[in-house]
Structure 1
Amino acid sequence: MKVSILGRKNLEQVLELPSVIEGVKSAYRLKAAGKTVVWPLVSYDFEEVGGVMDIRSGCIFGENLHGLKMLNNFPANTEKGLPPFNGMLMIFDSTTGIPLGVMDAAYITCMRTGAAGAIGAQALARSDSEVLLILGAGKQSIYQIAAALTLLPGIKKVYIADALNQEHARTFAAACAERLQKDFSLECSQGAFLAAEDLAAAVGESDIIITITPSRSPVILKEWVKPGTHFSCIGADMEGKEEIDPTLFQGAKIYADDVKQCVQVGEMELPIKQGVIREADIAGEIGQVLSGEIPGRCSEEEITIFDATGLALLDLVTGKRAIDLAQAKELGILADI
């Protein structure tokens, strides 16, 4: 029995963002069609060392795949010369239970998460959107920008905000155009990328806001936000995390990647617990919008929020594509187990 083992370099050689985006869309649509299962999230805080681990798992009957991903985020590793973001993805054939592949989960996660944020924006933002704000200048942020520019060619300006380190945002913005060309073959003007020197002003100018921080208190306030803004909330993926003002949910059109998981650990977790909104106020899931089952944005003035907590389904479809492409190119290792 042969199992594909793929490292990050192998994944970088075979995965391209447009293909990943299409795979993520297909996973969302299969979920809307009832052809998937999302199993309960497991997480654990290693408080003494400031690390966190989470396990996400699920099954895609439409692709005959099931599996799990364990991710570890240990920020202190940077001081030790070690990568802070690590994990493994395991994929199995759901008709036989036979393992198909084991691979680096960090790169898969970055690619599919970038795709998710952009898909939410494409589905729910105003069609004339031109200004994008990325809240967070960490590892994931460049993937969010790349996917957004791939799906939303009308974007003319991108603000990058880092609430903890303004200089980091400036450095990130200065390097954006070169990184997008090198890593994603996207040709962009360097002048399109700006550090958000005044966060409130940048929020007020932005049509689309993607949040990707580990914050546990609101960074963006409701009074800064103009009518018609779309939010893709990515960072709140564990209990207690929060990036935007809970009152932004009042009167907004709210969508989830998975309602049950979002209520438990997503951006909507605390607004629901605080009584700002009820679970009944959630319009539905993004897959239902993509499949045409429910409407997305209905007016130019309404605020839309896509709460994306991250689903193993996205990792599974992306990982399976990587396995097939790597085998066709004879990359990685085929191991007997």
Structure 2
Amino acid sequence: MKDIIHVASPILNGNEKKYVNECLDTTWISSKGKYVEKFEEEFKNFCNTKHAISCTNGTVALHLALLAFDIGPGDEVIVPTLTYIATANAVTYCGAKPVFVDSEPDTWNIDPNRIEEKINSNTKGIIVVHLYGHPVDMDLVIKIAKKYNLFVIEDVAEAHGAFYKGKATGSMGDISTFSFFGNKIITTGEGGMVVTNDDKLNEKMRMLKSQGMDTVKRYWHPVVGYNYRMTNIQAAIGLGQLENISWHLKKRREIVDLYYKYLENLSEYIKFQAEKNWAIHSYWMFSILLKDTVKVSRNKFIELLKIDGIETRPVFYPVHTMPPYKETEEKYPIAEKLSKRGINLPTHALLKEEDIAYISIKIKKYC
């Protein structure tokens, strides 16, 4: 029987082990240590931002970003409905309300043309998510935000290394957040990062992530904060990963090119998430949409591939369909269709051409 082809896999092929062993040998294993500072320094350079603040995970990064803007009860924050639920949950943690917007049919991202209709006097900001690695059309989002004096948070959990019109994802929002979960383009196992160009927001988030302790006066706590710190061990892994991020991105692009090569004759049955001419997709996940010409359901399609040893993932359920957020009967038809028929295919650098060829054969079989 063929080995299982996993949908994602962490690859630790750089200095990760060397750096972690140094942490162990020196006993700097908690949130103090040189690798935390090094990782933050190198990551801000990678994003072309002034500040980078490490934290425990991507959801925490979003929470810190929202707290920096004093989001609380009565406030509303616009989010895409087609996203991982953490985007909406972070808003809810603050006692605020996530307000959902439908998707674009080609990029699958939040539709900027639908944002303005959701803005009211309670709206404080917009969170955009570069879904599966494709950038949002940021010019239009920023234009709307400036018109209504709203903040913009980029959720870049899935888009390390993507570009919008030559600008790195994470460099355009007032604050941007990253995840380093084990299946991400680069990983620290669990971990996150917040980046910003604003000195005051940076200082506030650094204070909040460390139990509200003053950044100058040690053990003085002027505000109630949180224990959201990243460990030196995690940062050591992250630095080793970041040193190799160009390799990780190059390998993903090679995998995607192979998918296009082997699936090019299936346009009658499947559609790909677009890559706009103004974008560089980082391909956290290579995703397809089953057209109505495919007679089996998406879930059945996934089940059949699993029997053949191919692990896949369904595209996220729209957040508005989840029990905690199902407050109205409002429909979001594009997001609902993408969720119902979308599949994430194996996308990681350990894949070989023979794996892509095998996956493609099975996809053709069930179309």
Asked whether the two chains share a fold, i.e. TM above 0.5, the reply is no
- Structure with greater strand share of residues: 1
- Higher-Rg structure is 2
What TM-score, normalized by structure 1, do the two folds share? 0.29
